[in-house]
Each structure stands twice: as C-alpha cells, then as structure tokens.
Chains A and B, each alone.
Chain A
Amino acid sequence: MKILVALDTKDYSRKILKNVARLAENTLADIIFLGVQEGGTKPAKSMEKALLKYQQDVYSHFSPDESPYADFSSQKWQEKGPGDWIMTFKGMKEFRLRIRTGSVAKQTIAVAAEVESDLIVIGCGSKFGCEWDGEMNVPLRIAKDAPCSVLIVKHVQKAGEIVSILDQSVVSQDSLEMVNQLVTLHDAGLKIVGVKEKKGGKKDKIEKRMVDLLKYYNDRGISAWIKLLDSKDVKDYVTHSSREAIVALWMGGKESLVKKLFSRSMVDKLLETTRSSLLILR
C-alpha cells in the first residue's frame, strides 16, 4: 500500500500525523509526504523544516527495532525536475519527502497518479467549513479528481462509527481494507448502507455486494450493521450521519449511483457538515 500525505505548515496538517503513523503501522505502507509551495527555484525553508519535523513525528511512533522505515539520517534534497525536489529513505518500506511548486490540488493529484498511490490523506481547517490555507476548494478538488481513495481529516477525535455508503459497483480489496483500518484506528462500529435506485432493479446486486462485505468484515471480527436505503433518502441520511460518524463513500466506476448522487456540491456540503473525516473510496 502506498499513502500520499499532502501537508503544509498549518496546525491541521500537524494534527493528522498520529493517524498517519498508525495507518502506516497497520498497513506497512510506503509513505510520501508532499509539500506544495507557490513557486521558487529551491525548496522553501519553512516547508523543508515542516516536512522533516513531520517525518520525525511519524518515526517517533515506532520503536527503533520495529520501524519499517530507514533511519532518520542526514539526506539532501535531490532535484527531480523543475520545481520538484525529493528526499528518499529506503528501509523495508520507503519513506519519501517531496516538495513541488504549483497549486496544491493539481500537484497532489499529479503525484498521486505518478506514484500510483492507493490513498491520499489530507487535513483541513474547520473555521469556515473545510479549508486549506484559507482556500475552500482544495480538499474538495482533491476528493473529486484524485485517481485513488482520499481521506480528508477535519477533526482527529475518535469517531464512534464508520458509515460506508455503497451501490452496486464493484468494491476493491484496498477499499475494504481501508474501511477496516478506519474501524481499527477509531475503535468504531461499522455501518454498511446499501443504496438502491427507486425502481429497485439492482436490489439483488446490492444485496449480494452487502453479503460479501458483511462476510469480509465478520471474518475479521468486525461486526457491521446493515441498512438499505432508497436513492432519494441517501443524501439526507449521509448529511445527518456525517455530523458524528466518518462517512466512507464508495465512488466506483462510471455507472456508480453514489457517484451520481454525490455531486461536487454534495461532497462540498459533506465536508462542511462533517465533524470528523470523510473517506472517498475508489
């Protein structure tokens, strides 16, 4: 598993590191810390300092004997291309720091595609909704356009419940595992909510999907509650749930009903209402 963490120097970035460290520990993931600066011909000192500090924070989570990552040693930034610097720590698993110039959303999506990451983790402030350095649409753009799953952490406190919304689309193994990880991280209950079209044509398919999911989680000792909703009820349900729970939206392929229902504005609204995190699964 490869996790890309988009970071800046703000408090909301620092706060997600504990979760990132636990996620890395549980999944033995390769980690990439990405900082994006507006411009310049070399990495900004503040960004360099922040990323190295964040890396130290994650390393401190592991005991030296058990860390899958290489020792924290003095390395130098390598210029990978114009406005693109990298520092790599190779251990059993790889830890990379990367700084790029440009817009945060664009660069995060580009790096995620380039390194084929499985998950992007990003924090956001909650003063005005879910903002990144004062900009409202950065987390939203990443959530909508990323080629992989995205976890947006607004508040890091424990959520009592993970509410997974799925339709008839195929569910990837990685997505199942990510939900599993969130349940473990938060010691939370899991609710699986199937969405069916009002006409009801695909009910059997959704039920089959839910049986598979239920078995998957039960086999791992996770009990899950099941609920089936009509597509017309799902937006209200999700908006309400997002106040207390972490909502995981399975946005599968082109045919995905959840994808159709949760338009850009709806995801934006969810980011605004959530008191914890939002996970977009692909």
Chain B
Amino acid sequence: MNLFFTRRGKKENTEPLKAAWEDQITSQSPKTCPACGQASPADQWHKRGQVCPKCGYHAPIGAYYRLSFLLDPGSFQELDRDLLPADPLDFPGYPQKLSDLEQSTGMMEAAVSALGSIEGHRAVFAVLDSSFLMGSMGTAVGEKITRAAETAQRQRLPLIIFAASGGARMQEGILSLMQMAKTAAAIQRFQSARGLYISCLTHPTTGGVTASFASLGDVMLSEPGALIGFAGPRVIEQTIHEKLPAGFQRAEYLLEHGFLDQVVPREQWRSVLGQILSLHEKGGR
C-alpha cells in the first residue's frame, strides 16, 4: 500500500514515529493520573494512547506519538521536516531556548506535517505539539500549516489538523500574529477549492490558533476535556473579577454551545476520522 508514497523515490521515514512509540513503553514504572490521583502501570496508559485507564483523563501527547497510532502503519511521510524556526525580533535568549528544546524534545518546531492514511484513506496531516513552547505558532508553524493546506489542495487530499497551542508565539512578535491571517487565508482558499478540512482540537487550544485555522474546520472535533478558547481562563478571571464555573471552555462546554460537531475520545480517532473521510470520498476531495 505504500507504493504510492514511494513512487517518486521518496522513502517514508517512520523512524520518528517508532522512536516516539517506543519511548512511551520504555518506562515501566506506574504512572499517577493528575486528574484522579490513581496509579496505573505505564503499559496500560500506553495501550490507550496515554489515557488514564481508571478515569479516562487524556494526558497531553507529542505530535509524533499521536501520529504513530493514528496513521496506518508505514503510511507516514513527513513534509517540511527541514523547515526550521526563525528569530525575526532577535529576541534575547530565543535561539538558545530553541536549541535546548530541540535537545529535550527531539523536535525542531512545534508542528509536524505529513502525508499519511487512515483506514486506507489518504490525507495531509498537521499536528501541533504542546511540549514545544506550548505549541505556539511562529513563522515556521504558520508556514508548515499553510504548506500543508497547499499540498492538500494540490494533491486533492483532505486536510486534518490536530491543534494544541497556547496561541501566537510571542518571541517572534508581529509576524506570529500575521500567521493567523496567513493560515486562515490558506484554509479558506483550500475550502473554496472544495477541499475537506477536519479540525481536531486537543488540550489546550487557545489564543491565535483558536482565532485562525483551528476554528475553520468543515468538521470540528475535540478530545474530551480539552481547554478551548480565545482568551485563557486566568486572563478572563482577571478581567471580569469573578471565578469561572467548572467546565468553562472545556470541549463538552463548546459542544453544548454549538462550536463542535463531536467530542471524540482518543481511542476512537481512527474510526471517526476514517468514517468522515469515507463519507467524503466521492466528490469531496
């Protein structure tokens, strides 16, 4: 099934996925759930994609790890892996911070984009990673998302983006803000060409990412319990001088207020996305 991906002499490189996957099983010590406080064996967490076996809490996960269980085995082909961050403000300490993060996370930026398939349906994927500067969108992330939309349009494939972000990246200043316009415009253009865009929100999706590409899906989905909003809860509380109710800005709350189609538990992503892709197969490119 991978003949298609390799036909132009490009071999799929599944190494980052394998590494991310194996990384999760090397630690065998029991993990304590931050939500329910109960400990469960690490392999139990891993089996469910880092969802607490006791209470169903969805722990944040990295982009490569997510793709490792989301995509059909062997279908992953990373795009723009060599697209590196830039430092347009010459912001003090930023290059050092980036290289430290590269060391500690093994990622060069907060987004991974790839060609891949789910249940045999090909699509272009982009996944943000909250372990890298809170998944914030600077020029490199904006460029990756934009190119993902352009690739999807060129190849007439659906576009699936998993958001996880604190918003625009402060260290890159105004150009980070401009990535909102750039990505929103690219999505708009892709959708005008009848492209299917499925936006999948994970914890947390806030700020400039919520206010751009992440809110523009033809289909809007979220993981359970994900915090989704424009302003963060702390800023709102400081502004209105009152405590926010429990569950405010959580996925279930957004579902109730009409901003999501469905809340999808992590273990169901493959089947739900597979179903949507299949329903859009004919005519919906």
| A associates with B | no
Interface positions of A (Cβ within 8 A of B): none
